[in-house]
Structure 1
């Protein structure tokens, strides 16, 4: 029997509101293979990764049709009845830091008694170590999903890793690529993410946020163009700026594991998800993302053979300062366990400041997660 025919995905119109947009650089990956192209891209990238943590890439060899097909598959998954989606959810797994599969909305209290409005479906990379049952709408299209996942890695992630290696003055620009091999056990995953529109009254109770300010835990996150404005970044001046949905781009942010590997040189970007502007506030927001992480066995100590890090004295990080030498697998487990913890009722002040209960933010003894609000 042939699978269900999936209708084309039509993106909603962009906002017409006059928002305070962030000024972010765009890396043109068509320059990558040209003579001197990688060096020119590194020169453009350096300020962004050291001070902002966000940038765009374009011309990344994944067609808009391929991207829209993933949005369509995400739409079809979220259109399933809740009882069907819940077959791919395991609350006990979340407690243990296992995050693949489905997480329903309302798993956590966002603040002032309001539960989160986010559904997540994570598809682990196809490395042979993460066998999972998928709903029919996805299993019928799993070959195409795998191809997309692999292209995210080879066409975007690996190219960025080589640029980071050049920035770090490593002798071998393949060094970081070897630490992020797709077919070696790791925690990379593709995500379909759904934010349900909320009432103005509920939004007000949680400081008009869908998700408070935070950093991601891996190497880089790829966010495919999302026309419902909601993503905001915290710039170096301490101001929140909206991230514009630019045609034909992926928004990239750098994350905690990369910050650890570079002794803090590369900034783990601080971002949050705000309620959309007035002309989009009634629209549900669907996202397609790819999360890249070092392979599970990689120890997240600062890279010892980087001339740049050694010259700058960046030989410690938040883990090593606590006497910890965490592998990626260990870091993902403790961080995800903290993130998925059913926290106590968080308090949100009238001006949007979040206050958490004791231990809600503890990742390890001596290391707490930061909420930037």
Structure 2
């Protein structure tokens, strides 16, 4: 029998508040195949990834209709009864760093006695190594989900990786692409993410934050445009700025693995999720994201054949300075285990500063996660 017919997704209106928006560059990927286009894009990319780690892309060969279908699937998933969604949740697996599937809201303490308000559903890439049972609404549309997942990789991730390779002056612009092959075992995933609106009182207890300032652990994160203003970035002047939802764009941020591979040259972008402005404060926030990561076997040592990194003397990173030469698979496990660790109540000051327990942020001996305020 045919699956349920899914209504189209209608985005809510954008905020009318006068927010302090970040000034980010927009890369036009239609230039990618034009003569001199890649070189022009690299010049735009250079400043962004060395300083902030955030930028937009447009003209990425994924239609708005395709994007909205993923928002519609996310909406349908989160409309399921909690007991149905919990069939795809395993707290023991989550504690061991297995993040695919469903994570309910309230799984962790945000701070000051307030639990987190975010639900997450992760769909691993279709590389043949992550076969999982899916809820009916996803299973009925799984071919469409796979097509979208693969297009995120080929139309956006691979193009950006080639631009990074040119930036690094690598002898082959496909070098990073080979370390991020879709059909090779890796931890890329598509995510539907749902933040429930909070009361004014609850938001005040956690300094207005939905999530604390942090970095992502992979290479590149794709955040598809949705109009509920909440994402903020920490710029190079140490100021939190709102990220404007721009029509026809994907917001991109660079992440920890890419920072490790480039000896710190490419910054892992620091970002947080704030409660929306007053005219959107009552609206739940649904996100569609794609997380790209190096293949599991890739060792997170600085790239040795980059003339640029060699000229700059960037031969080590936070891991190698500890004598660690982790594969991406090992890094994901230790980092995700730390992220999902059940902690005692975190303290949050009125100005948004977090105080954690002694071991709450430990990833490895000598290496702690950073929380930014």
Shift of 1:343: 1.1
2:248 corresponds to which residue?
Answer: 248
TM-score, with length taken from structure 1: 1.00
CA distance in structure 1 between the aligned counterparts of 2:52 and 2:103, rounded to whole angstroms: 30
TM-score, with length taken from structure 2: 1.00
**Secondary structure, aligned partner of 1:107:** coil
1:101 corresponds to which residue?
Answer: 101
* 1:127 maps onto 2:127 in alignment: yes
1:199 corresponds to which residue?
Answer: 199
**Secondary structure, aligned partner of 1:226:** coil
**Secondary structure, aligned partner of 1:133:** coil
CA distance in structure 1 between the aligned counterparts of 2:232 and 2:149, rounded to whole angstroms: 25
**Secondary structure, aligned partner of 1:227:** coil
1:283 corresponds to which residue?
Answer: 283
Shift of 1:121: 0.0
Shift of 1:344: 1.1
**Secondary structure, aligned partner of 2:245:** coil
* 1:298 maps onto 2:306 in alignment: no
CA distance in structure 1 between the aligned counterparts of 2:302 and 2:279, rounded to whole angstroms: 45
2:271 corresponds to which residue?
Answer: 271
Aligned 1:72-221 pairs, distance under 5 A:
72-221=72-221
CA distance in structure 2 between the aligned counterparts of 1:204 and 1:355, rounded to whole angstroms: 17
CA distance in structure 2 between the aligned counterparts of 1:229 and 1:301, rounded to whole angstroms: 36
Shift of 1:194: 0.1
1:5 corresponds to which residue?
Answer: 5
CA distance in structure 2 between the aligned counterparts of 1:264 and 1:350, rounded to whole angstroms: 32
Shift of 1:209: 0.2
CA distance in structure 2 between the aligned counterparts of 1:362 and 1:297, rounded to whole angstroms: 24
**Secondary structure, aligned partner of 1:204:** helix
Shift of 1:318: 0.2
Find runs of 4+ consecutive structure 1 residues off by over 6 angstroms: none
**Secondary structure, aligned partner of 2:251:** strand
**Secondary structure, aligned partner of 1:223:** strand
CA RMSD after TM alignment: 0.3
**Deviation sequence 1:159-199 (CA, Å, 0-9, x none):** 00000000000010000000000000000000000000000
CA distance in structure 2 between the aligned counterparts of 1:123 and 1:204, rounded to whole angstroms: 33
2:342 corresponds to which residue?
Answer: 342
**Secondary structure, aligned partner of 1:338:** helix
1:65 corresponds to which residue?
Answer: 65
1:230 corresponds to which residue?
Answer: 230
**Deviation sequence 1:33-74 (CA, Å, 0-9, x none):** 001110110011100000010000000000000000000000
What 5-or-longer segments of structure 1 have no aligned partner? none
Aligned 1:316-331 pairs, distance under 5 A:
316-331=316-331
1:369 corresponds to which residue?
Answer: 369
1:353 corresponds to which residue?
Answer: 353
**Secondary structure, aligned partner of 1:151:** helix
**Deviation sequence 1:106-141 (CA, Å, 0-9, x none):** 000000000000000000000000000000000000
Aligned 1:12-91 pairs, distance under 5 A:
12-91=12-91
CA distance in structure 2 between the aligned counterparts of 1:226 and 1:371, rounded to whole angstroms: 25
CA distance in structure 2 between the aligned counterparts of 1:135 and 1:304, rounded to whole angstroms: 44
Q: How many residues align?
A: 373
**Secondary structure, aligned partner of 1:166:** helix
**Deviation sequence 1:225-251 (CA, Å, 0-9, x none):** 010000000000000000000000000
CA distance in structure 2 between the aligned counterparts of 1:351 and 1:139, rounded to whole angstroms: 44
